[in-house]
Chains A and B, each alone.
Chain A
């Protein structure tokens, strides 16, 4: 008996759902208390940097509460970082599942990005609510602006993830180089210092980095009195995101056969 043949979109949707659940299970339950680390990492970073701030006697960020300012920056940056770094490994990690012709490599990257964004939102919410309970002012001054900054960061992460996943599968050395660049990116995005303190001539260079844009925009939307660097623009952030996503998807289509055959 021949049943109905499912449409392509129905197949894709069911694959995304199945992959999402599979990724969520291994992300949250693999290793000892993996879920706790999700919360622990940003909290430890905030605490560590607050200690550093105290040591260098920069107790406050102009126009913002330092702890919340850090929390917003760190959780947004970590979400974007998780999207591109884990997205990069998505194809490799799901290789065994390409035995089913319904699953194609790009599915793995897209689903992983969606999962990381989802987890990032939950973690950020939990941390902000937690900070709120300690008496910090955690309600953003411009919620939509903050969300737009956060979403832009996630999309940039997705674009990079799509590109890097192809690159690191076809040329593994590129993956290693990319991983080397991840740490400098943390410092160059202004996660732990206000970029507006950087002299303008260097700031110009710093703002080639889309993550610097996204973080400044999200923070600027959070605190009404915070002086975000004037270079930060949604145009650059979303332009970068669209360009990299387009390039990444093109690469995924171009090398679909080779990615699956690896």
Chain B
């Protein structure tokens, strides 16, 4: 279960504190519920994911994670450019405390990402598609209770997309998912509930369709 209570967030800019991105966001995500996050560009979707993932801290309010939450998958960071894919995978295994079954997890990542020889090349030489394959495989290698996904399914070629979607579907059967995507079909495919971010506030919908409807009305208005 993830509890978000009266969360405010603004960033420090070069000209003092910036404008509020989130203003009093509160909601509770029950276990094993898949939530889609919708909202305009700059509405604070990625910010909210980072806060839930614990990478950033709210300016005000609090977030409680009573389960194992993944890192926000898919957004730029998470891999180190000078390290190879394999070294990155090892690093992630180690910080998640999987020293014992490291070899198995590496084998899984290598198999899933299908990078071939590039797995042993530095990540900075990867194309963006290869990089997101690696990130996607990495996130699947661990058993989290909740996965946070920032547009990860959008990556890769057709074959990989299919494979990723299948893996994602399987994952949502046993764990919760919080995802941001601009693809309506992707959201409908994976999510049951929805959160609509609008003008710094969050609106919870038990049905993703309602969230999408509100979102679309807000952009056409």
Contact = CB atoms under 8 A, between A and B. Distances in A.
Interface of A: 1-3, 5-6, 10-11, 14-15, 17-19, 21-22, 25-26, 30, 94-103, 257-258, 260-261
Given A99-B75, A100-B78, 18 more contacts: A5-B68, A10-B97, A11-B95, A14-B95, A17-B99, A21-B91, A21-B94, A26-B82, A95-B77, A96-B76, A96-B78, A98-B77, A100-B55, A100-B95, A101-B53, A257-B56, A260-B56, A261-B56
A11 B68 CA distance: 13
A101 B55 contact: yes
A26 B91 CA distance: 13
B67 A2 contact: yes
Nearest to A257: B57
A99 B77 contact: yes
Interface string B38-49: 000000000000
B153 interface: no
A14 to B, nearest CB: 5
B129 interface: no
Given A26-B83, A260-B55, A102 B95 contact: yes
Nearest to B84: A25
B146 to A, nearest CB: 10
B95 A3 contact: no
A25 B96 CA distance: 19
Tell me if B's interface is mostly helix, strand, loop or mixed.
loop
B12 A22 contact: no
A2 B95 contact: no
B71 interface: yes
Contacts of B12: 258, 261
A30 B174 contact: no
B81 interface: yes
Contacts of B67: 2
On chain B, which size bracket covers the interface?
20 to 34
B94 A96 contact: no
Contact of A2 (B72, B83, B97, B145): B145
B91 A97 contact: yes
Tell me if A's interface is mostly helix, strand, loop or mixed.
helix
Contacts of A14: 94-97, 99
Closest 8 CB pairs of A and B: A18-B94, A101-B54, A99-B77, A99-B78, A96-B77, A18-B95, A102-B95, A100-B71
Contacts of A5: 68
Contacts of B91: 18-19, 21-22, 97
Interface string B1-35: 00000000001100000000000000000000000
Of listed B68, B79, B97, residue having the most chain A CB within 10 A: B97
B114 interface: no
Contacts of A3: 68, 143
23 contacts: A1-B174, A11-B97, A14-B95, A14-B96, A14-B97, A18-B91, A18-B94, A18-B95, A19-B91, A21-B90, A22-B83, A25-B87, A30-B82, A95-B77, A96-B79, A97-B91, A98-B55, A99-B71, A99-B72, A100-B55, A101-B54, A102-B95, A257-B57
Contacts of B53: 101
B92 interface: yes
Contacts of B92: 100
B76 to A, nearest CB: 8
A27 B87 CA distance: 14
Given A14-B94, A261-B12, A25 B174 contact: no
